[in-house]
Amino acid sequence: YEMLRSLVGSEMCIRDSHSTVPALLGNAPARVVVDLDAIADNANEMTRRAEGAAVLGVVKGDAYGHGLVPSARAAVNGGATWLGVAQLAEAMTLRRAAAEGAGDLDVPVLSWLHAPGSPFADAIEARIDLGAPSVGELDGIAAAARRVGRRARVHLKVDTGLARNGAYGDDWPRLVEAAKAAQATGDVEVVGLMTHFVRADEPGHPENTAQIERFTSAATDCESAGFELEVRHMSNSPATFFLPEARFDLVRPGLALYGLSPAPDLATSEELTLRPAMSITANVTVTKRVPAGQGVSYGHTYTTPRETTLADIPVGYADGVPRAASNVGPLLVAGARTTIAGRVCMDQIVTDAGDAAVAAGDEVVLFGRASDGTQGPSAQDWADAAGTISYEIVTRMSTRLPRVYTGSLAKELGL
């Protein structure tokens, strides 16, 4: 598989459903199936929810595990007019894809998390907007702009309370003054102002109001400095739904693009009119009939309560299945809901299928839909079982699992 992957690239775009995956990858034991129509529909829904603000589709983290370039194309086709990533490597990948034929990706791209020594010159030449959280980083961007003879487009990052990346306290006026000087020399153009919410999934929390007030004050600072901002933006997925006063000029939905609720305690995906895009399916390797009292997997943390059928499934923590899902991870096997029996191993899990008619080769759904459309557990079900969030469940799915793109948009885009 690694040899095949090196030949065809990291974006494993396979036209048909997983029933035809073996035609390219041999008998792939498991796969990530991504419905690009769902991503496009979700982007369209976020555009509607934004009520006039532009939509930046957040495709960081390999599009939350869904595959960077295909997912970005789906988001743009659904109405997103900007794309955003945390790291420059992904921004450069988007620009290369646009240059190599994916013309729908020729939209503004923003990258906002950079370490010292990042290749700012390459980014500036590629017309990538850059987030600037500090004077030191702004200086690096300006120096790169001078080297390439092209003005850098910068979004100043103000820390309004998250205490993470961004200019905080007295560092903020220093950043504004440094940006004003760099703009006067023609090295940068300040086109945006951005920040991140702390509790957007708690819409009644007073910290949200405080952050909006701090952000509005920072925008006034930018106006006083003479910056003509194209966009002011702070809204992530939950803020886009639940904090309309924070939409400003641009919203940055991430998780919602992929059909998952960013605030499951407040509303489900269905209630938010979102369609989950990702399904994880695998094929049983072997089954065996065992007696009552048989321990299963490492440490025998599960013991069969009766004579039963065990089914071995070829996915494990090397594929992104959380080890915390041992004995609790939900599955759809032979049309019935079961759970993982015993510990999650590196490459496989086991389930107790009882007396179900399950055989080697049968499809198992970890989450999402089966090939016949039957709904299995959700990513949120997995998050609840493993004590985490759905963001982590989908994003951690390993590139060892080939991505299979489905839906009419996948065919239209030639994926």
Which residues carry out catalysis? Answer: 60, 298
SS3 call for 107 = coil
> Rounded to whole angstroms, how far apart are CA atoms 87 and 100?
21
Residue 396 tokens read as: 């951690």
Q: How far from the centroid of its chain's Cα atoms is residue 226's Cα? A: 35
> Rounded to whole angstroms, how far apart are CA atoms 260 and 20?
27
> How many Cα atoms sit within 13 Å of 156 on the Cβ side?
34
> Rounded to whole angstroms, how far apart are CA atoms 208 and 238?
12
Q: How far is CA 248 from CA 52, 209, 212, 245, in A?
A: 9, 14, 10, 7
> Rounded to whole angstroms, how far apart are CA atoms 278 and 142?
40
242: left (phi over 0), alpha (psi -120 to 50) or beta: alpha
DSSP assignments along 269-288, one per residue: TTTTT----EEEEEE--EEE
End-to-end CA, the chain: 19
> Rounded to whole angstroms, how far apart are CA atoms 274 and 256?
7
Residue 341 has phi, psi (to 5 degrees) of -110, 110
Residue 91 tokens read as: 């921004």
> Rounded to whole angstroms, how far apart are CA atoms 260 and 262?
6
SS3 call for 119 = coil
Surface-to-core class of residue 15, CB atoms within 10 Å of its CB (0-12 exposed, 13-18 middle, 19+ buried): middle
Interstrand relation of 109-111 and 82-85 (parallel, antiparallel or unpaired): parallel
If we measure between CA atoms, which residue out of 108, 88, 103, 133 comes closest to residue 231?
108
